[in-house]
Structure 1
Amino acid sequence: MLHITPHIQIDESELSERFTRSPGPGGQNVNKVETAVQLRFDAAGSRALTEDVRQRLRRLAGRRIDSAGVITIEAHRFRTRERNREDARERLTQLIRQASHRPKTRIGTRPTRASKERRLDSKRRTSAKKRGRQSRPSEE
Structure 2
Amino acid sequence: MNEEIILNELDFKAVRSSGPGGQHANKTATRVELSFEISASQALSEKEKERIFKKLSGRINKEGVLKMASEDSRSQHSNKELVIQNFLFELKEALKKPKPRKKTKPTKASKIKRLKAKKKKSEIKANRKDPLK
1:59 matches 2:54: yes
Instruction: Check if 1:25 corresponds to 2:28.
Output: no
What residue number does 2:72 align with?
A: 77
Which of 87, 112, 119 does residue 117 from structure 1 map onto? Answer: 112
TM-score by length of 1: 0.76
Q: TM-score, normalised by structure 2?
A: 0.80
Query: What is the identity, as a one-letter code, of the residue corresponding to 1:8?
Result: N
Task: Decide whether the 8 Å contact of 1:17 with 1:37 is kept in 2.
Answer: yes
Q: Check 1:115–1:69 CA distance in 2 against 1; reply closer, same or farther (3 A cut).
A: farther
Computed over aligned residues only, the root mean square deviation of the Cα atoms, in angstroms, reads 2.5
5+ long unaligned stretches in structure 2? none
Matches within 5 A, 1:35-114: 35-114=30-109
Structure 1 residue 8 corresponds to structure 2 residue 2: yes
Q: Deviations over 1:30-87 (max 9, x none)?
A: 1111110110001122111122322332233242112332110011111110011111
Q: Percent identity?
A: 32
Count of aligned residue pairs for this structure pair: 131
In the alignment, the residues of structure 1 paired with residue 18 and residue 126 of structure 2 have an alpha-carbon distance, to the nearest angstrom, of 62
Structure-2 change in CA distance of 1:132 and 1:36 (3 Å): farther
- Which 4+ stretches in 1 moved above 6 angstroms? none
